[in-house]
A and B are shown apart, each in its own frame.
Chain A
Amino acid sequence: MRVALVVFFAGVTLAGCASSPKTPVGSVASSPESFESPEFAKLGLRFPLLERRLPNGLKVLIVQDSTVPVVSYQTWVNVGSVDESFGLSGIAHLFEHLMFKDSEKYGPRAFFNQLESRGAVVNAFTTRDYTVFYETMVPPLLPVAISLEADRLANLKIDAETLYTERHVVFEERKLRTENSPDGRMQEAVWSLVFKSHPYRAPVIGYEEDLKRMEVTDLTTFFKANYQPGNVTVVVVGDVKADSVFSMIEKAYGGIPGTPRKPRNIPREAVQSEARRVELQDQIATEKITIAYPSTSAAESDTYALDVLSNILFVGSSSRTHRQLVEENRIASGIGGVNYTPLFPGVFLASATLRAGHSASEFENGFESMIKEIQSNGVTEREIRNAVRQLTVQTVDSVRTGQGLANLIGTVDAIFGDPMRFKEDLTKYSRVTNADIIRVAKNYLTPEKKNVVTMVPTTGRATQ
């Protein structure tokens, strides 16, 4: 299956992330708006949203849903690996770890001692564009979560001993996800191949040599620059009273000084003019390949056609790649792909594990033929209709839980600066035409924009 829906909404220009002028400030009352749109109404979906902003810049988004006595509290910090300076790769992710360590007011491990030990799910993740801290809990624990989150934003403690230990934990995480994992190694190689100047080229977890050289002063500088209310959005979904929660948040965060969010000034990657390749080796049974093409950011209108195309190519047993390369030609045992569109232009990916006796180049040739066929003759109306239906089910699936809905709202807000934006997406998908598919296939999936990472067994390449 395709990756989580949030991926489809990832990415917009910097301006979209600036303060939204329609957001009420302070305790000015605002009626909950609804995500209702014709497509959502047809499905019987409606999520009333309260959106407010504190004078210090903190944005607050609340959806009341009393279906189950659970609440999800998420803190979206507008900083990711894309914001890292050269030589400091991994600092955003390392910082995510350090945020759980210690604070002046509540001391070490407060989130675990006071929330997780009472059953709350407490965790965080870092992407190329943002860092998210989340707690899912029964409602009586919400005041604790608010208090602890506000405290670490204002009073985090960082010392050399904590940095030393946590850095080693990150080294182990890096080994687990990348160095020990053939797929992890390939993924890291893909991003560094596609992006030559843009900071997306570095892995979110960072390079070990960069992590080793980080000092406490690097971290305190990073904290002051990024962890302040003007750079943070709080998303609350669940069994709460919106006004009451907002009052608690206002009380907890109101005294923390904030400044307006600074625009990200990251130059666009140069247009790729010739194909690039890299070959890796590992102890694997058969060859692997990933082909990547530079894609759009989520804000660009071509995203919708590329998403539909990637569903037609990769999602389900009747998708084109599965049908032709797994079932008919039988050269691959597994295939996957996605149009990944973060804040800045992302990548359109196709990956395969080859069957014994078949080479990565056979997949590459087969995939290219398939793309040429689409560039010449397009796809069928039925394929487009099926893909849009799949995207609709994925949309509804993504809001099955409060945490899922909070993820979706937070992602869309982080990317577009407008949490309501995703209500338009089903409409936009439904308007994609065959001509759109042909156009994006011709514009984006071209031989000179191809990036190919192959991995061959250490015992030798497959004979063709």
Chain B
Amino acid sequence: MKSCTKLFFSVGITLGLLTMGPSLAVGMPVLDFHLPLPKVETLPNGLKIAWFIDERLPLVDLGMLVRTGTKNDPAGKSGTVELLSRMLERGANGLTEQAFSAKIESLGATGFSNSDEESITLGMHGLAQDANELLDVISWMALKPNFNEAEFQKEKVKVAEAWKHLPDSAESLAGYVFGKALLGGTVYGRGTLASTSELNKLKIADIREFHRTQFSPKNAILMVVGRVDPVTFRDRIIAAFGSWKGAVTRTGTFSFRDPKTSILLSKKMEIEKREVLVVDRPEVPQAQVRLGFRIPGIRSEKRYALAVANALLGEYFTSRLNLIVRDRLGLTYGIQSGLTYYKDYAFFSIASATAAQNTGQLISETVRQLRLLKAGDVLAQEIEVSKDYLLGGYPISVSTLGSVANRWLNGYSFGLSSDYLNEYMPKVSAVTRESVVNAIDDAFHLDEMVIVIAGNAKVIEASLKEKGFKRVRIIQANSLL
């Protein structure tokens, strides 16, 4: 445990002979790339600790991930995890919320508690010299939250009020309705909150009970990233967490499309085949556009071929969509495609924004490009460029130990093997044109594509109909909540 990872990955570089364009005969680096994996140990009570030691900067990040997220909200009690996460910041170890915040901020540090579909994460970031105190604070948050009734009522009000601001932004509206339309009927469909009526019914006893059953050392991992002495710090961790007990109790069955836990959405946000859903947000000149469909999950062998396909379609400035929709047609400031992975679900999506009167043209051109890909219109040269982009960008995306730790933690929470970070480059390198064409053919279910637009519905609808989109349904932004 004493070794320090100063140079936390090594890159051996050989130069190939690829010519890179006029007058620039520079080789593309071929990278022999290896990221450091953390030392992981398990305390007798089952708590895992992952060590990413880095002496370079006088900083420390402590993070605790608990493997229970909004998809684990008990039936009829959506909002439980969101409120629990918020309550962990509202006082602990007998300190009031004010005293608790002051304790963290007196160190110049920042603390947080977040939740998503899969997990709750607590974190502390500050100077390395304060690592012991930060560890104390994170242990109080995890083990000794106050769960004060008055604070709970305040947080419920804040959550309800935050939702009222959703229609303020066309961008937020488009993202929200797109997520509901695409993920509806799955355990991910309800997001952080299914309805305000469920929120209103929640009691502090629900939060306490969820914490009691889900916060267990066997269900958690502590990340230590930065400048600490692992020997002495390990003793501090044992003092803070060693007596933590409890076995996790699952709150239900969480398989994909389980009718007991999945949410049947409001009819408003269900979408039928070949139907375009427009959320009316009048008075804004620009339409926010989202489209996408489900793809194979994170464990699929097609994942790397799809990563290459996604990159060539819409990830960089010379990708197809950018070249055509932005550079040639000047329709948008940006158009991006992306792959989103949950533990048990994945989807492909495209996001853009354009003047409302150009919406039909932008979507029409985007769908045309998807159809071309589906028909196998992919050049070997495009595949190589896309692979080079992904391979060259990977070292930059993991150029801090914090970014390596985050990626590792994502893999851990998804149950991937600890080597998955180092499999990325060889697996991308091995992608061929044939594997990309096959993956697109298998994964791009264009008939099931969900298209959602937020903006001035009247102008958008006219623009869509002009381009042949016949089934357009308009919903009002203020009717969603």
Binding site for B on A (CB under 8 A): 1, 43-45, 66-70, 100, 105-107, 109-110, 112-114, 116-122, 136-141, 143-144, 147-148, 164-173, 175-176, 179-182, 282-286, 315-319, 323, 327, 330, 333, 353, 355-356, 382, 385-386, 388-393, 396-397, 399-402, 458
Instruction: Check if B21 sits within 8 Å of A168, measured CB to CB.
Output: no
Indicate whether B158 reaches chain A with its CB closer than 8 angstroms.
Answer: yes
Cα distance A401–B403 in the bound complex, in angstroms: 11
Candidates B105, B171, B385; contact of A180 at CB < 8 Å: B171
Asked if A117 meets B58 with Cβ closer than 8 Å, knowing A1-B110, A176-B286, A182-B169, the reply is no
Residues on B with beta carbons closer than 8 Å to the beta carbon of A70: 395-396, 399
Candidates B7, B23, B109, B326; contact of A393 at CB < 8 Å: B109
Instruction: Check if A140 sits within 8 Å of B26, measured CB to CB.
Output: yes
Indicate whether B29 reaches chain A with its CB closer than 8 angstroms.
Answer: yes
Interface centre among B165, B284, B333 (most CB of A within 10 A): B333
Residues on B with beta carbons closer than 8 Å to the beta carbon of A355: 161
List B332-361 residues whose CB lies under 8 Å from chain A: 332-334, 353-355
Candidates B20, B58, B392; contact of A119 at CB < 8 Å: B392
Instruction: Check if B395 sits within 8 Å of A138, measured CB to CB.
Output: yes
Instruction: Check if A393 sits within 8 Å of B318, measured CB to CB.
Output: no
Interface centre among B31, B385, B399 (most CB of A within 10 A): B399
From A70, which residue of chain B is reached at the shortest CB distance? B399
Main secondary structure of the interface of B (DSSP, over half): mixed
B-side interface size class: 35 or more
Instruction: Check if B332 sits within 8 Å of A117, measured CB to CB.
Output: no
Instruction: Check if B281 sits within 8 Å of A43, measured CB to CB.
Output: no
Convert B162-178 into 0s and 1s, putting 1 for each residue whose CB lies closer than 8 angstroms to a CB of A: 10110111110000000
CB of B377 to closest CB in A, whole Å: 19
Candidates B9, B168, B169, B332; contact of A172 at CB < 8 Å: B332
Instruction: Check if B330 sits within 8 Å of A393, measured CB to CB.
Output: no
Cα distance A283–B158 in the bound complex, in angstroms: 20
Asked if A333 meets B283 with Cβ closer than 8 Å, knowing A114-B21, A119-B394, the reply is no
Residues on A with beta carbons closer than 8 Å to the beta carbon of B284: 179-180, 283
Instruction: Check if B58 sits within 8 Å of A44, measured CB to CB.
Output: yes
Asked if A172 meets B59 with Cβ closer than 8 Å, knowing A69-B11, A109-B318, A333-B158, the reply is no
Instruction: Check if A106 sits within 8 Å of B13, measured CB to CB.
Output: no
24 contacting pairs across A/B (C-beta < 8 A): A43-B127, A44-B58, A66-B7, A68-B8, A70-B396, A107-B22, A118-B389, A119-B395, A121-B396, A138-B29, A164-B330, A168-B331, A169-B333, A175-B353, A283-B168, A316-B101, A327-B97, A389-B108, A392-B108, A393-B109, A397-B59, A400-B57, A401-B400, A458-B283
Residues on A with beta carbons closer than 8 Å to the beta carbon of B126: 393
Candidates B24, B106, B354, B390; contact of A386 at CB < 8 Å: B106
Residues on B with beta carbons closer than 8 Å to the beta carbon of A66: 7
From A397, which residue of chain B is reached at the shortest CB distance? B59
Instruction: Check if A284 sits within 8 Å of B165, measured CB to CB.
Output: yes
Instruction: Check if B105 sits within 8 Å of A317, measured CB to CB.
Output: yes
Closest 5 CB pairs of A and B: A119-B392, A389-B108, A168-B330, A119-B393, A317-B101
Cα distance A386–B108 in the bound complex, in angstroms: 6
From B283, which residue of chain A is reached at the shortest CB distance? A283
Cα distance A283–B281 in the bound complex, in angstroms: 8
Residues on A with beta carbons closer than 8 Å to the beta carbon of B171: 180
From A402, which residue of chain B is reached at the shortest CB distance? B399
Instruction: Check if A286 sits within 8 Å of B395, measured CB to CB.
Output: no
From A171, which residue of chain B is reached at the shortest CB distance? B355
Instruction: Check if A106 sits within 8 Å of B21, measured CB to CB.
Output: yes
Candidates A68, A119, A148, A316; contact of B110 at CB < 8 Å: A316
Asked if A118 meets B59 with Cβ closer than 8 Å, knowing A69-B11, A356-B161, the reply is no
Cα distance A315–B399 in the bound complex, in angstroms: 28
Residues on B with beta carbons closer than 8 Å to the beta carbon of A458: 283
Asked if A138 meets B11 with Cβ closer than 8 Å, knowing A119-B394, A165-B327, A397-B59, the reply is yes
Residues on A with beta carbons closer than 8 Å to the beta carbon of B162: 333
Instruction: Check if A175 sits within 8 Å of B286, measured CB to CB.
Output: yes
CB of A327 to closest CB in B, whole Å: 7
From B402, which residue of chain A is reached at the shortest CB distance? A400
Convert B1-41 into 0s and 1s, putting 1 for each residue whose CB lies closer than 8 angstroms to a CB of A: 00000111111010100001111101111010000000000
List B359-391 residues whose CB lies under 8 Å from chain A: 385, 388-391
Candidates A109, A175, A391; contact of B317 at CB < 8 Å: A109
Instruction: Check if A318 sits within 8 Å of B105, measured CB to CB.
Output: yes
Candidates B57, B286, B331; contact of A45 at CB < 8 Å: B57
Residues on A with beta carbons closer than 8 Å to the beta carbon of B8: 68
Residues on A with beta carbons closer than 8 Å to the beta carbon of B327: 109, 165
Candidates B22, B56, B169, B333; contact of A173 at CB < 8 Å: B333
Instruction: Check if A144 sits within 8 Å of B161, measured CB to CB.
Output: no
Residues on B with beta carbons closer than 8 Å to the beta carbon of A148: 24
Indicate whether B282 reaches chain A with its CB closer than 8 angstroms.
Answer: yes
Indicate whether B328 reaches chain A with its CB closer than 8 angstroms.
Answer: yes
